[in-house]
Amino acid sequence: MSIFLVDEYKDMEPYVPGEQPKDKPYIKLNANETSMPPSPKVFEAISKSEIWNMSYYSDPHCHEFRRAVAEIYHVKEEEVFVGNGADEVLSFVLMSFFRRGMKIYFPDITYGFYRTYAKTYGLDMEEIPVKDDFSIDINDYMELDGDIIFANPNNPTGLTIPTADIERLVKRNPNRMVIVDEAYADYSGETCLPLAVKYPNLVVVRTFSKSRNMAGAHIGFAVSSRDIIEDMNKIKFSFNPFNLNSVTMAAGIAAVKDVDYLHNCVTRIVKNRENFQKELESIGFHVIPSKANFVFCYHDAIDSGILCEKLKEEGILTRHFADEKLTKYLRITIGTEQEMDVVLIAIREILDEVRQKQSVKEKKAC
């Protein structure tokens, strides 16, 4: 740590992304990305002319991109904010509407970046315990005095809060901001996007990194009231007016307009998720019913941390969390049908090895 780092950042805890090893080829199921390519229209959009135009600055207002998003989601351009990934969009929300010491609430089991951002921005955060089954009871938040953020579906559990419950919360106190992170909403079939332009205290954040298969492009957007978006753009123009480059926006426009491809990709992932969950349960796994592009599970016969390491040895990356409440579980992203078949074969072989060792141990004990 240098002597120049300001005091307010000395205690921050940087977010730790899923590992990205390059020592050999892996089936990468640890960061909730997808193994499918972006829409074919994205490849068409990144043309020679678009690359040639890189000599000029991109549109800082992102008009064409915002219009495309607005058209698909049946809102107005003035109700859309776009940024370099959902995390940056969330950062602009916090920069725009939160000052140091302000109260913010979120579940104690959720996306780790909320905790990171709360500490970075000096917020008075309070983590509300989830239920024993990891579900979130909206009644725990109804009378709270500060602003609230949810991931819906939640990460790493994949559980959802009914849209009607979120609407009740938003209506309860119009002076309290509610932020809903819908990174995985396409896989659940429920969204709060229509509510975001109905209630002036609701912000819905989305990403292209999951269902649109564009994690490498890092595109995110928010939908909210015109006043909220106008405020966020003022902050953006005071911080980084050109937060999206022209090539990224061209790809984003093509991707958001290809609704049929989005639907096909989501349908495939949901089908693979359901099949994978059934197969896991058939071999003794406990699986939380997910509405995202991953499953959260454990097996009584093997520690999830050990299973994670053994799968890595087989060229399969999954995510194990050190948190006391989560350490029992393993999060596995849903990939292609072929990838999930490989994962199941590896898991069965690992479990067979565990059973054989247990059997030998029992015989020696006799």
Q: Domain map of the chain by residue range? A: 7-34+260-352, 40-258
Confidence of residue 20 (pLDDT cuts 50, 70, 90): confident
Neighbouring-strand partners of residue 150: 180
pLDDT number for residue 61: 97
- The answer to whether residue 362 scores a pLDDT higher than 70 is no
Give the C-alpha separation, 133 to 286, whole Å.
Answer: 12
Burial readout 309-321 (b: 16 or more C-beta within 10 A, e: otherwise): ebbbeeebbbbbb
| Nearest CA among 35, 1, 20 for reference residue 210 | 35
- The answer to whether residue 17 scores a pLDDT higher than 90 is no
Give the C-alpha separation, 290 to 270, whole Å.
Answer: 10
- The answer to whether residue 181 scores a pLDDT higher than 90 is yes
- The answer to whether residue 54 scores a pLDDT higher than 90 is no
Minimum mean pLDDT range among 160-169, 238-247, 270-279: 238-247
Check if the beta carbon of residue 99 is closer than 8 Å to that of residue 79: no
Check if the beta carbon of residue 94 is closer than 8 Å to that of residue 203: no
- The answer to whether residue 2 scores a pLDDT higher than 90 is no
What's the whole-number mean pLDDT along residues 84-102? 95
- For 260-299, how does the pLDDT look when each residue is reduced to its tens digit (9 = 90+)? 999 999 999 999 999 999 999 999 999 999 999 999 999 9
The class that CATH gives domain 7-34+260-352 is alpha beta
User: Mean pLDDT of all residues in the chain?
Assistant: 94
The CATH number of domain 40-258, selected from 3.40.640.10, 3.30.230.10, 2.60.130.10, 3.40.190.10: 3.40.640.10
Q: Could you tell me which residue, 322 or 163, shows the higher pLDDT? A: 163
Give the C-alpha separation, 262 to 357, whole Å.
Answer: 45
